């Protein structure tokens, strides 16, 4: 019993990108047409100020896991951006990183669907690598260790999963170390299941971030517990704990649509089912920190009564 308590207490719970209660956004951007260096500076400054506020809010509420928005540096990987944001904001980024480390917080990032490492078109691969470089350089400039991860999906299928997986593996192997040390892949809900991700892991060693909701949509009959056990094996010590994305089906939406607010009973069941396994949870639920706070309460309740 003591061991269970210790393990579940290690668990960090968080939410992605947006805080709905403090009245600022850390993903303010602009139209490409209105690009200028001064606008760039203004937006980044605004985004970093807000990120600090969000992290402070999180800390005072016990939320120790957060996904930083890819928009925090707008157009960072676009050819139009020649602005040296790393250098210009290095002190500020370092400071935020220091705050994160001092308070034992965890960070992830999630570039969007345009990052296709297994694309057939070399230009798309090149752009994808640029985008990954931006994410990794941001985390490096913040001086965060390798437990801060950048998660992507395996990518496209082009009606030929076997060769698309082979292309992923080949392209992964050519990535620079700065990306490799942070990149993790996530099982998706339509194409690449956990089983597919494991195939890739065996060839590359890339850790697998487990998405509970996606697994419920697409799986090979592994239970959630079995699946998490499999994923944990793909993370080594320097990677930190397994990251798990958690969401639930929206009752009024199409299959795959995320729920508006957490179903507390289902979440409690999930925690009990996986009790004893060590991981951090990112709640991909639309009301953001509100559900994260509820999840935290449920976690604490389970700790109390076990």
**H-assigned helices in 70-211:** 85-88, 90-102, 122-141, 161-173, 177-180, 194-204
List the Cα angle 71/73/79 in 5-degree steps.
Answer: 100
Q: Which stretch binds DNA (CB under 7 A): 72-80, 142-150, 200-208, 230-238?
A: 72-80
CB closer to DNA out of 74 and 207: 74
Decide: is 48 part of the binding site for DNA (CB under 7 A).
no
Decide: is 52 part of the binding site for DNA (CB under 7 A).
no
CB of 254 to DNA, least distance (A): 5
Are 113 and 131 spatial neighbours (Cβ–Cβ below 8 Å)? no
Are 203 and 189 spatial neighbours (Cβ–Cβ below 8 Å)? no
Maximum Cα–Cα distance for the chain, whole Å? 59
Are 67 and 14 spatial neighbours (Cβ–Cβ below 8 Å)? yes
Exactly one of 42, 56, 84, 112 binds DNA (CB under 7 A); that residue is 112
Decide: is 254 part of the binding site for DNA (CB under 7 A).
yes
Exactly one of 44, 100, 116, 200 binds DNA (CB under 7 A); that residue is 116
Are 133 and 168 spatial neighbours (Cβ–Cβ below 8 Å)? no
Q: Which stretch binds DNA (CB under 7 A): 98-106, 165-173, 230-238, 255-263?
A: 255-263
CB of 10 to DNA, least distance (A): 27
Decide: is 44 part of the binding site for DNA (CB under 7 A).
no
Contacts of 286 (CB under 8 A, 6+ apart): 258, 259, 260, 261
Q: Pattern 211-250, binding to DNA, x per CB under 7 A? A: ----------------------------------------
CB closer to DNA out of 251 and 276: 251
CB of 28 to DNA, least distance (A): 4
Measure the CA–CA gap between 295 and 276, rounded to whole angstroms.
Answer: 17
Residue 23 Rama label (left phi>0; alpha psi -120 to 50; beta): left
CB closer to DNA out of 7 and 81: 81
Decide: is 158 part of the binding site for DNA (CB under 7 A).
yes
CB of 29 to DNA, least distance (A): 5
Decide: is 191 part of the binding site for DNA (CB under 7 A).
yes
CB closer to DNA out of 25 and 151: 25
Measure the CA–CA gap between 101 and 94, rounded to whole angstroms.
Answer: 10
> Tokens 């409690």 correspond to what residue?
268
CB closer to DNA out of 44 and 277: 44
Measure the CA–CA gap between 86 and 73, rounded to whole angstroms.
Answer: 10
Closest by CA to 28, choosing from 14, 40, 37, 11, is 40
Decide: is 257 part of the binding site for DNA (CB under 7 A).
yes
> Strand 208-211 vs strand 65-68: parallel, antiparallel, or unpaired?
unpaired
Measure the CA–CA gap between 32 and 115, rounded to whole angstroms.
Answer: 19
Decide: is 120 part of the binding site for DNA (CB under 7 A).
yes
Measure the CA–CA gap between 237 and 228, rounded to whole angstroms.
Answer: 16
Decide: is 102 part of the binding site for DNA (CB under 7 A).
no
Decide: is 53 part of the binding site for DNA (CB under 7 A).
no
Decide: is 195 part of the binding site for DNA (CB under 7 A).
no
Q: Which residues bind DNA (CB under 7 A)?
A: 18, 25, 27-34, 70, 74-78, 112-114, 116, 119-121, 123-124, 127, 131, 155-159, 189-191, 253-254, 256-258, 284, 286
């Amino acid at each position: 019993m003591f061991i269970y308590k210790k393990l579940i207490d290690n668990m960090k719970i968080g939410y992605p990108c947006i805080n709905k209660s403090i009245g600022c956004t850390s993903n303010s951007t602009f139209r490409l047409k209105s690009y200028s260096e001064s606008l760039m500076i203004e937006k980044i400054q605004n985004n970093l100020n807000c990120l600090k506020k969000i992290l402070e809010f999180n800390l005072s509420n016990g939320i120790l896991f957060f996904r930083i928005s890819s928009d925090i540096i707008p157009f960072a990987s676009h050819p139009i951006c020649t602005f040296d944001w790393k250098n210009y904001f290095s002190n500020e980024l370092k400071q935020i990183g220091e705050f994160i480390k001092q308070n034992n917080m965890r960070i992830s990032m999630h570039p969007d669907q345009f990052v296709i490492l297994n694309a057939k078109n070399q230009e798309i691969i090149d752009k994808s690598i640029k985008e990954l470089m931006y994410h990794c350089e941001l985390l490096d400039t913040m001086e965060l260790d390798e437990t801060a991860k950048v998660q992507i999906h395996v990518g496209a299928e082009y009606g030929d999963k076997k060769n698309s997986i082979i292309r992923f593996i080949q392209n992964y192997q050519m990535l620079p170390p700065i990306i490799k040390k942070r990149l993790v892949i996530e099982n998706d809900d339509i194409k690449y299941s956990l089983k597919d991700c494991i195939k890739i892991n065996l060839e590359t060693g890339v850790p697998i971030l487990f998405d509970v909701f996606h697994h419920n949509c697409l799986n090979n009959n592994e239970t959630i517990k079995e699946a998490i056990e499999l994923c944990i094996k793909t993370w080594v010590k320097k990677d930190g704990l397994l990251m798990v994305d958690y969401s639930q089906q929206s009752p009024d939406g199409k299959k795959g649509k995320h729920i508006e607010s957490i179903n507390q009973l289902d979440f409690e069941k999930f925690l009990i089912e996986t009790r004893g396994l060590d991981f951090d949870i990112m709640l991909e639920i639309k009301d953001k920190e509100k559900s994260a706070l509820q999840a935290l309460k449920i976690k604490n309740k389970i700790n109390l009564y076990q």
